[in-house]
Structure 1
């Protein structure tokens, strides 16, 4: 039986765009402009400008964005194979897969109470092998980029951003995606700026990096039939770029609606066994996810499901404890390991009604979690 209060309702989210999306599809069908049409460059220019970055290049997915960003720096000589990348384990596995795909070594660092990389722990984890910090702006909140920039500069490390969950987020007034040497975004449908399929992009103010990602995503060939590298077939197709271009002007408004839902949760959830998300600056957070914690997570999730409220967990198994990474299972990351047992993501979207949000709050407050 479908949930009355789904975790994410893409039908409702896309309803205002339905006629525009049909027009876009008709246009692409009429002129067969499916790959590398001018709209792709138009969208990437607009999104780069929105993120206060100079250049952008589209790729096939968020994982490809991370993988090709790292590979570009590898080819340019900044990330030799076997180099260490300081990274949280408290993230989606794609962050780590990109490191592995490039024969780099994840150097796992614990997160703070805000679920984001702890700059002090990052600095203490640096070894002679370390060449980069890959920071994840998790759940829609920027990490402490001022402190991480200082660490990176002091130790001459690349500072790279995984911004897959942070479209439009800010740190001290500056957009996420423009705070490091380069950044990777995902346009997966559930993102704050989501396509109608997979997609991603890399942003940077270094044109060499963007050009290398372009070449790598074009089969390793700077021009047709002239392959220089063992590349990939990874482009943001023009249809998805068109859909994203139509949605981009509404991103700030949608993020404000997410903040309105979050504000209701923050003010309304009073169950003493619930830990609300720590927030550095409410107005700079874009609440891709609203994540609470409780020692009775599984019990609460079942209780909410009985009331037709769908929830999710981001993420139940830390990356360093995944079977793929069993050689790292001895590492002790106390916050990461504890949080993964307690976190629960509540429904949140720009289209979530006041009534639905109040009902969810009422059910949570009525849950017996002793």
Structure 2
């Protein structure tokens, strides 16, 4: 059996005729930028999340940058991020003139609140937790730290649209949150895309102006902005997918449950918490990230048996980019970098495919 890590053609084939009809409707009207499809998607996304404003932007990195700017983060500020996240998280902090500071992660891949506390200085202005792999961080502990030290919370929820912590959706714990719609995301378009969400009217107006070259009422430019708009074709695709998004999440959670049941007795593995591990988090399982004592040998064995795996971001943690000279506290992340990998997980996988992957993982360890 061949089980690629991610099956891009299958994502299109799932609803190929529907996608073509959607795209054709946009193209035939010549409605390419900031038209009805974008407005409809923004309204439906805001309703899905239960927030006042959802603003479509060009990509997840643009969303991070605009969220930071709308939160007032800039020159002279330090922002604490996890070592286990994509470089875009730290890069967004850098691009608004602030300094990213690197905290450690926990065995579930989330940022370590104790490490966050250790990294606070008088220059610290915000915590930017990454809601990684579709799971939320310990927002109770992080919110308590933020309150104690008068810090802002600016979430990187690019992998966690629909995840919840104690009933609150990822992305809505601070003033402004952000998402990515990269094709491999749980809600992915056929190119780049992102969104910024907020309940703050002033922040929403600022972001809408920022994404469109700083143009305000009547097209008058009142500040330097970006060309950071989500185009209509991608917005239309996303709106079509959003209508059945909960079914896709349900399937991802079922796959994660099957993996956990099959692999729970393999002593050499550290598995992510199961979907029913606690009653606080609702995990959407963007990824199924494990830790393996013989990671490289396991990946080679799986590849020889037709199973694709990856190490997120090439296997690098942020603190390991020596040329960036980032201040860091990441001893667990350092060790985890030698062990972590991801098994295939997307909503179109069959139980037979998941069982085949699990069979091969078990066979390797036997």
Task: Report the TM-score when normalising by structure 2.
Answer: 0.94
Question: Match of 2:163?
Answer: 169
SS of the aligned residue for 1:108 comes to strand
Correspondent of 1:37 among 35, 38, 50: 35
Q: What aligned pairs does 1:114-193 form with structure 2 within 5 A after superposition?
A: 114-193=108-187
Question: Match of 2:320?
Answer: 321
| Offset from partner CA, 1:59-109 (integer Å, 9 cap, x none) | 1000000011112233xxxx2412010111110111011011111011211
Distance in 1 of aligned mates of 2:74 and 2:267: 49
Q: Deviation at 1:125?
A: 2.0
Cα distance change of structure 1 residues 196 and 281 upon mapping to structure 2, 3 Å threshold: farther
- Bigger drift between 91-100 and 7-16 goes to 7-16
Correspondent of 1:358 among 351, 355, 360: 355
SS of the aligned residue for 1:179 comes to coil
Q: Deviation at 1:297?
A: 0.8
Distance in 2 of aligned mates of 1:96 and 1:364: 34
Task: Report the TM-score when normalising by structure 1.
Answer: 0.93
Question: Match of 1:252?
Answer: 246
Distance in 1 of aligned mates of 2:212 and 2:358: 48
Cα distance change of structure 1 residues 278 and 334 upon mapping to structure 2, 3 Å threshold: farther
Distance in 2 of aligned mates of 1:86 and 1:158: 10
Question: Match of 2:338?
Answer: 341
* Matched residues, number: 361
Question: Match of 2:195?
Answer: 201
Asked if 1:22 corresponds to 2:51, the answer is: no
Q: Deviation at 1:13?
A: 2.6
Correspondent of 1:111 among 105, 122, 126: 105
Distance in 1 of aligned mates of 2:306 and 2:182: 25
Question: Match of 1:277?
Answer: 272
| Offset from partner CA, 1:259-285 (integer Å, 9 cap, x none) | 111111101013321111135538711
SS of the aligned residue for 1:11 comes to helix
RMSD: 1.7
Distance in 2 of aligned mates of 1:281 and 1:114: 13
- Bigger drift between 51-60 and 233-242 goes to 51-60
Q: Deviation at 1:239?
A: 0.8
- Kindly indicate whether the alpha-carbon contact (under 8 Å) linking 2:103 and 2:329 is maintained by their aligned counterparts in 1: no
- Bigger drift between 104-113 and 10-19 goes to 10-19
- Kindly indicate whether the alpha-carbon contact (under 8 Å) linking 1:149 and 1:180 is maintained by their aligned counterparts in 2: no
- Kindly indicate whether the alpha-carbon contact (under 8 Å) linking 2:311 and 2:340 is maintained by their aligned counterparts in 1: yes
SS of the aligned residue for 2:349 comes to coil
Question: Match of 1:220?
Answer: 214
Asked if 1:62 corresponds to 2:60, the answer is: yes
Question: Match of 2:262?
Answer: 268
Specify every segment of 5 or more residues in structure 1 that has no aligned partner in the other structure, as ranges.
none
